[in-house]
Structure 1
Amino acid sequence: MKNNRYRNSIGLPLLTAVLVICSAVLLAALSVVVNKNRITALAEQQRQVEQEMKLLNFEIVSLGRKIDLLLDGARVQPILQAKGTWLQKLSPDARAIIQLKPIPTAKAVVQATEAELP
């Protein structure tokens, strides 16, 4: 009788080591691909946000221009005067728009209170 024996020189420890190394390389490659895809997706989102910001800024500027055209003094003043408001034209020579009463200094307040005391 012939005795057939399995004569493979690759043993179980070597096969396990090869599988572990191959799986580690595969996981490393897979993680690199996933990270690159994630970075690409984030960059695309950033581009979209920047594009939306540009569009919104353009819209804000155009609305500001439209408001300036609709609310210039020549148009608004007759409307407000017709409604009876106290609107007055500003003098270009005026130094201040609002005139405030001067605030008394602490020295003047003390003198006024001393004068009132008997």
Structure 2
Amino acid sequence: MKKNRYRNNIGLPVLTAVLILCGAVLLAALSIVVNKNRISALAEQQRQVEQEMKLLNFEIVSLERKVGLLLDGARVQPILQAKGTWLQKLNPDAKAIIHLKPIPAAKVVVQSTEAGLP
């Protein structure tokens, strides 16, 4: 009787090494794909944030223009004068913006302290 023999030259150690090598290559390829997907997702989020920032900046500029038009000095000054406020136009050459008038009671206190009264 003739026995069938297994005549393959590839042994168990070589087969194990090939399987481990293929597994490592597959894991490396999988990690590269996962990292690229994560990077593309982050890039998409960044594009969305930049687009929202552009829209918000446009809204800010348009609101500043609107406020500038509504609070123009030529429009506000008559309204304030009609309300009876004491506001006056600012003089750009002035060294001080606020000028306070002396209080008459302060003169009396100064004079009384000079005279030696408490």
> Fold match, TM over 0.5?
yes
Q: Deviations over 1:62-95 (max 9, x none)?
A: 1101100001112112222222222222335433
Partner of 1:39: 39
Percentage of matched positions with identical amino acids: 85
Structure 1 match to 2:99: 99
Whichever residue aligns with residue 95 of structure 1, its letter is K
Question: In the alignment, what sits opposite 2:67?
Answer: 67
Q: SS of 1:98's equivalent?
A: coil
- Equivalenced residue count is 104
Q: Give ranges in structure 2 of 5+ residues lacking alignment.
A: 102-115
Q: TM-score, normalised by structure 1?
A: 0.74
**Other-structure match for 1:26:** 26
TM-score where L is the length of structure 2: 0.74
Q: Take 2:100 and 2:44, find their aligned partners in 1: how far apart are those partners?
A: 56
In the alignment, which residue of structure 2 is the partner of 1:81? 81
Distance 1:63 1:27, change over 3 A: same
- Paired residue secondary structure (2:51): helix
Q: Mark the CA change 1:20 to 1:92 in structure 2 (over 3 Å): closer, same or farther.
A: closer
Deviation string 1:20-54 (CA, Å, 9 cap, x unpaired) is 00000111111111111211221221122112112
Q: Distance in 2 between matches of 1:86 and 1:18?
A: 92
Tell me what 2:105 maps to: none
SS in structure 1 at match of 2:94? coil
Identify the residue that residue 7 of structure 1 maps to in structure 2: 7
Task: Give the structure 2 partner of residue 50 of structure 1.
Answer: 50
What is the match of residue 104 of structure 2? none
1:80 to 1:100, Cα distance in 2 relative to 1, 3 A: closer
